[in-house]
Structure 1
Amino acid sequence: MKFTDILTEENIILNLRAESQEEAIDEMVERLKKNRMTTDSESFKKAVMKRENEISTAVGYSVAIPHAKDHSIEKPSIIFGRTLKGINYGGQHTNLVFMIAAPENASDEHLELLSRLSTFLMNETFRAKLLVALTEKEIMEAVEEQESKNNVEEIDSHDKDKYLVGITACMTGIAHTYMAAEALREAARRRGMKVKIQTNGANGPENTLTGSDIKKADAIVLAHDVNVDVSQFEGKKYVDVPVKRAINHADELINKALSYDIKENETYVQEEKVEEEKEKTGLQFYKHIMSGVSYMIPFVVVGGIFIAISFMFGIFAADPASDEYNRFAHFFSQVGGEAAFALMVPILAGFIGYSIAGKLGLAPAMIGGMMANIGEAGFLGGMIAGFVGGFAAKYISQSMRKIPKSFQGLVSILIVPLLSTFIVGAFMFFILNAPMSALNRFLETWLTGLTGVNAALLGALLAGMMASDMGGPINKTASAFGLAMFAANIFEPSAALMVGGMVPPIGIALATTVFKNRFTIQEREAGKASYVLGASFITEGAIPFAAADPLRVIPANIIGAAVGGAICMALDISLRAPHGGIFVIPIASNSPFLYILCILIGSVITCCIIGFLKKPLSEEALKKGKEMSSIF
């Protein structure tokens, strides 16, 4: 649909008589009624005013776009009004007003019109032509010219109608997975490309790619921190990167994926540079670990919360020999401590092995993980067992490929599991368990002996690392240490880590509320969501702000988180659930009120630092920053 189909000279008011926003709306609705484009002008006006009361449709640049759907409108229409003197519209000086009237059952075409019109009006030359036009005909000519330019730009787009497919998957499957997918979708849409991104989230794969999708694809991007099944892409070259790379550099990745020209060359070409091979090896190592951790986390969370619930009945309530014994406390303790916690390390090891060698690596690696539990080698021992079991299974399997097919079934169900389990078992029993057990005892003694300044320094370090790159490698390193301590029944580091993860989004959200003149309307709206994300321990809510202003926001995040983490560990606050945010604090922390106070102190410090470092925006910057999507 073209604008010239629904904006005619009869719908143009060159000189609005209105002195206010409501008078302008009245005058334009009256023109709608006069041109018989509404069967009930009062009903349509109510719909427009309801929209204005939700959020003003003034979009900056001296432009407003009031709009509404209503049963009184039979077909889409646009009324254009201009006032050279200008009026106060939603608190902004406004000269150009486009009113869009759409039927109640209008399709997405209504939204598409708004989007296109918003894009047109960002063009300064186009706005100037509307302001200086002397006749209705000149207005129509300016609109036709601008629409023609935009259509030409779309047609000339080199990537128009090409098809991008991909998969995104992060460790927890909660935030980065969907942020990366949206970044790729948005970058592809700007190019006019068709796009389908499969998200391997916490609830399983969504928007799953089919064989037909992959066959039709012109470009493939995989952005993942955990292993994904790439067998379906066999014979095609694809971009393979960590999730955060897709969030921050989506256009660059699409360019690289398109450069492979996979429809012309279906054969996967190995990278030639040694540096790239090293980078790929390191990335695979990281993905194997994250795959194990992602499967382990539910066991950690469930185990921690169930044990915390058991303590609510009394410290010794789960012990049948105690006078405090309570059967329900025993139940929660057994499920959480004797079952879930006992499975943590074997699950970690097993799925590291699975990531390396598929099903063949699961059994030997999981058995190695159980031996790490038995030998008190802990989290780190289980991680090593996962790699030993996985690679043993992988290389034994590869070395037996030439065995006749009639014996291949025996290889996979007997020979590979037997030999690889022997290797990992012997390695754990004779080599690793003893030194790892000694190391764990040393760490436990050291950590439990930390008090005062030393505990505060460790808390500051862990929380600061969590806040530094919000889901990146530094954050993951701190998380891995916390999980290792958690597996060793030391719960104070977990508390400091969650402070470090919650402070950045909450602190930024506070800053957008307290220091409004430092942020655009778009950022203020995003700040509201950051309250919820921060309270839920989703640090990724801070990423858009950090990406937009890293030199101010990242230091503020680290300092606030470090202070909160330092206070937390100095007060010996523990947390028996390493995830869940505000929802687990009441039952999983030994001092819920003090713990929440630590988070608030850190958040306020982050907020104040941001407010101090960021300068107030100019009026022009505030207008420029107004999100065009707010008109929807």
Structure 2
Amino acid sequence: MTERIITAQTVSLDVDAGADPAAVITALSDALGAAGRTTDPADLARAALEREAKSATGLPGGIAIPHARTASVTAAGLAMARLSRKVDFGAPDGPADLVFLIAAPEGGAAEHMKLLSSLARALVRPEFVAALREAETAERVIELVTEATDPGASKKTTPDKAPDEALQKTPEKTPARAPEESPTPTVSAAAPEEATRPRLLAITACPTGIAHTYMAADALKYAAERAGVELAVETQGSSATTPFDPAQIDAADAIIFATDIGVKDRGRFHGKPVISSGVKRAINEPDAMIAEAVAAARNPNAARVVEGCGEVSGVDAPATAGGTGTGLAARTRQALMTGVSYMIPFVAAGGLLIALGFLLAGYEIANTTLDAGGSLDDAAYIALNNSLWDLPSGGLLQYLGAVSFAIGSGVMGLAVPVLAGYISFAIADRPGIAPGFVAGIVSLAVGASFIGALIGGLIAGAVCLWISRLPVPQWSRGLMPVVVIPLFGSIVVGGLLYMVLGKPLAWLTEQMNSGLESMSGGSAIVLGIVLGLMMCFDLGGPVNKTAYLFAIAGIADAATAGPAQLQIMAAVMCAGMVPPLALALATVLRPGLFTEPERENGKAAWLLGASFISEGAIPFAAVDPFRVIPSMMAGGALSGALIMAFGVELRAPHGGIFVFFAMNNWVLFLVALAAGTLLSAIVVIAAKQFGRTRELTRADVQALAV
């Protein structure tokens, strides 16, 4: 018999677990810890709250399903609380009184994932939820959950009947049983009218693939049954995925994409009418989505899936209410962020290698032409012409420094093409990568650098997307993403940059660099304040990344970067380190103002902040943005201003305290960092004095753990 995922220790009925999701999740995590399902309840609570920050887990009907996958979970488990005081988990219809915390091990077995998925699907059924609310004992809850997640455990359950007689008090209102996991639809030949019904396919997928993926699938299935529409669903979640048969796709009249992540093998659905939304809309508004899909199937101008592209085409493709459709500005921002996210690893690796080269061989290595045909100093000559085993006496450090600098320069040289390539990729998918890289390479050739990459990547993506939408004969479709789109996209964007846009963009880049070099005194301090505010505004989001991109654009060429560019890099890094360090300090100075998960996050934030990872402050900002973010911006602005006033220079684009060797004055860098950190900590402590959140008491925890 399958091991039960819920026990009496993890069920609490009619308890007051606190006033906010953090308190409830902490209590349920402790209950799972007491039951031996996790070795570190605080880690589980932190992971669940991080997931909560990405997307609220409240569902219509007073239900919440916070969930997490983490290495501290030893066996898949479930903790449930029926709350006497409802807590708001972000559901559209109000707070929740039934809360399930789903805990999955990092390498969770498929069988356990199926059990957890089955529970998520059962929560879509109103009669199951009603039975949970009427249950008088923990044993009754366990029985209901066990029957829902493991039907074979009950003799009362058969494939053709509801899983529990108690759930059939009003059979006329009981929805039909959801179709089985197999996506193959059943078409009745004995009912001619059924042959005319629209045939729909749906893909559901959420980031963790544990709960929302399967709840959305069943919500759509029930809605399709109510509407008399054929529907098959492919769940791209933690459990094994059974892809649609090609014959099903050919027969489908429309597709529903209810996903928060990319659809696997999207090109299978080329040309099919499509309705797209986030996965939660499929749970909240399944009937509306089915109706929209039926309308799309009958509309010759409906939006359609484009082969090989992450976009849809069509005349009537506006964003639907509650969906995830975006305007041009939002889609452009998403494309730019995609390019920056792919570029950052190249910048970090290349920049740190260059900084290591400086440490080993001195800053003069940047002025060496690492070319066998150019003027070489001894270190460069050794690096290019000798082996490690054929060095003059005392030349090892110079050799290693020259090699490190040469490798880092090569990696940094890829940053601009990668930025442009993945901006184009975000717009036109794989066919846009090659033209995007061409745009980046040409931008370097004409001196347009990062500005050229931004403009060129957008142009390349738009051109490739336009070409992909051109009507072409069936026989040539296979050539489009492999040959035609990359070829003509590269010709168009490369030609535009070389012949039209190159010189204006290069002039703009040169003027920006000249302007930075001329900055001093008050103007430099104002720039430091602005950069500090931007770095702390969204903690790793678009505004933060814009400031970071501005900084690394100035130091990308180590041989030409001047003092102003190096000071901007120092200001950006110092300000970006402030939020996690300030919040870590605040949890130490006034722990009572923070929940237990926040205090645990504070411990990790020390290292994250020291390493220049601003995202370490996100768990705090997600719970209390209106007090946390302004407090962090105050400290970031102070640090940025002090760095510019002190004239601190930094030659590495990442690393935090681990790249002190790449600074001209690390002591003053620490002074600026300490000042900003202390200011933000004081401000956030003062702000949290007002309307502070009630912390879960030990009595509450014990009540939930019993």
* Range into which the TM-score falls when normalised by the shorter chain: 0.5 to 0.7
2:310 corresponds to 1:310: no
Alpha-carbon contact 2:605-2:616 (below 8 Å) kept: yes
**1:603 counterpart = 2:677:** yes
**1:471-519 deviations in Å (ceiling 9; x for gaps):** 3332233233334334364343333233333221221121111012222
2:256 aligned with 1:211, yes or no?
no
Deviation at 1:438, TM superposition (A): 1.2
User: How far apart are residue 523 of structure 1 and its match?
Assistant: 2.7
Q: Note the 1:323-338 alignment, pairs <5 A.
A: 326-337=398-409
- Structure 1, unpaired ranges of 5+: 8-58, 71-105, 127-141, 169-176, 200-205, 242-249
After superposition, give the CA deviation of every residue in 1:41-83 in whole Å (9 maximum; x if it has no partner).
xxxxxxxxxxxxxxxxxx99xx99995769xxxxxxxxxxxxx
**Over residues 432-476 of structure 1, what are the superposed CA-to-partner deviations in whole Å (9 max), with x where a residue is unaligned?**
111111111111111122223222221221121121122333223
Deviation at 1:375, TM superposition (A): 0.7
Equivalent residue runs for 1:608-627 within 5 Å = 608-615=682-689, 621-623=695-697
Mapped contact 1:165–1:213 kept (Cα < 8 A) = no
Local SS of the residue matching 2:540: coil
Please point out which of 345, 351, 363 is paired with 2:422.
351
Which of the numbers 322, 329, 347 marks the counterpart of 1:282?
329
Structure 2 match to 1:479: 548
Match of 2:601 among 526, 539, 552: 526
Q: Secondary structure at the match of 2:364?
A: coil
Matches of 2:701 and 2:533, distance apart in 1: 32
Match of 1:586 among 657, 660, 664: 660
Give the AA of the match of 1:314. Answer: G
Work out which of the residue numbers 519, 523, 528 in structure 2 matches 1:450: 519
| Aligned ranges 1:242-257 → 2 under 5 Å | 254-256=283-285
CA distance 1:275–1:260, shift in 2 (3 Å): closer
> Following the alignment from structure 1 to structure 2, what is the Cα–Cα distance between the partners of residues 552 and 423?
49
Q: Distance in 2 between matches of 1:237 and 1:426?
A: 35
Which whole-Å deviations, capped at 9, do the CAs of 1:136-155 have from their partners, x for residues lacking one?
A: xxxxxx99457658988996
SS of residue in 2 equivalent to 1:279: coil
Structure 2 unaligned spans of 5+ = 10-25, 38-72, 88-96, 98-133, 149-166, 168-172, 182-201, 222-232, 250-254, 304-315, 369-374, 381-397
Answer yes or no: is the 8 Å Cα contact 1:574–1:589 preserved in 2. Answer: yes
| 1:211–1:232 Cα contact (<8 Å) kept | no
Matched-pair contact (CA < 8 Å) for 1:497–1:565: yes
Shift of 1:297: 1.8
CA separation in 1, counterparts of 2:82 and 2:214?
15
Give me the identity figure in percent: 29
Paired letter, 1:473: P
Deviation digits for residues 499-546 of structure 1, max 9, x if unmatched?
333221221121111012222333323322333333343333323322
Q: What is the CA–CA distance in structure 1 between the aligned matches of 2:245 and 2:637, rounded to whole Å?
A: 46
Using the alignment, how far apart are the partners of 1:398 and 1:572 within structure 2? 52
Q: Superposed, which structure 2 residues align to 1:162-173 within 5 Å?
A: none
Aligned to 1:296: 343
Q: 2:459 aligns with which of 388, 402, 405?
A: 388
2:472 partner letter: K
The residue aligned with 2:502 is 433
Q: Residues 193-216 of structure 1: CA distance to partner in whole angstroms, max 9, x if unpaired?
A: 9x99979xxxxxx98855269999
User: CA–CA distance in 1 between the matches of 2:483 and 2:213?
Assistant: 45
The aligned residue for residue 630 of structure 2 is 555
* CA shift in 2, pair 1:567/1:487, >3 Å: same
Q: CA RMSD in A?
A: 5.3
Distance 1:404 1:554, change over 3 A: closer
- In the alignment, the residues of structure 2 paired with residue 161 and residue 346 of structure 1 have an alpha-carbon distance, to the nearest angstrom, of 49
- The count of corresponding residues between Structure 1 and Structure 2 is 497
- What is the TM-score normalised by the length of structure 1? 0.63
Shift of residue 304 of structure 1?
A: 0.5
Distance 1:544 1:238, change over 3 A: farther
TM-score normalized with structure 2 length: 0.57
Q: Tell whether the 8 Å contact from 2:339 to 2:423 is kept in structure 1 after alignment.
A: yes
Cα deviation, 1:365-387, whole Å, max 9, x if unaligned, reads 32222111011111011121122
CA-to-aligned-CA distance 1:569-592 (integer Å, 9 cap, x gap) = 33333444434444x423544444
State the one-letter code of the partner of 2:459. Answer: V
Where does residue 313 of structure 2 map in the other structure? none
Alpha-carbon distance change, 575 to 210 in structure 1, aligned in 2, over 3 angstroms? farther
Contact kept, 8 Å, 2:459 with 2:493, in 1: the verdict is: yes
> Alpha-carbon deviations, 1:582-629, whole Å to 9, x = none?
4x4235444444334433322211111111222288896552997789
- CA contact 2:234–2:244 (8 Å) conserved in 1: no
Q: Choose between structure 1 and 2: higher helix proportion.
A: 1
Per the alignment, residue 38 of structure 1 pairs with none
Greater Cα offset, 320-329 or 155-164 = 155-164
1:97-116 to structure 2, matched below 5 A, reads: 112=78, 115-116=79-80
Deviation digits for residues 245-267 of structure 1, max 9, x if unmatched? xxxxx866742467424998596
Q: Flag the 1:68–1:562 CA change in 2: closer, same or farther, 3 A.
A: same
CA contact (8 A) 1:361 1:390 kept: yes
User: Which stretch of structure 1 is more off in the superposition, 368-377 or 487-496?
Assistant: 487-496
| 8 Å contact from structure 2 (residues 275, 292) kept in 1 | no
Confirm or deny that 1:402 pairs with 2:472.
yes
Q: 1:560 to 1:152 in 2, by over 3 A?
A: same
Letter in 1 for 2:445: I
* Equivalent residue letter for 1:598: A
- Contact 1:522/1:625, CA 8 A, preserved across alignment: no
Asked if 2 retains the 8 angstrom alpha-carbon contact of 1:545 and 1:553, the reply is yes
Distance 2:445 2:701 in 1: 57
Report how far residue 233 of structure 1 moved.
6.8
Q: Name which of 220, 223, 227 aligns with 2:260.
A: 223
Q: Find the aligned partners of 1:535 and 1:509 in 2 and give their Cα distance.
A: 11
Match of 1:378 in 2: 449
Please say if residues 521 and 625 of structure 1, whose CA atoms lie closer than 8 Å, have aligned partners that are also in contact. no
- Match of residue 531 from structure 2: 462
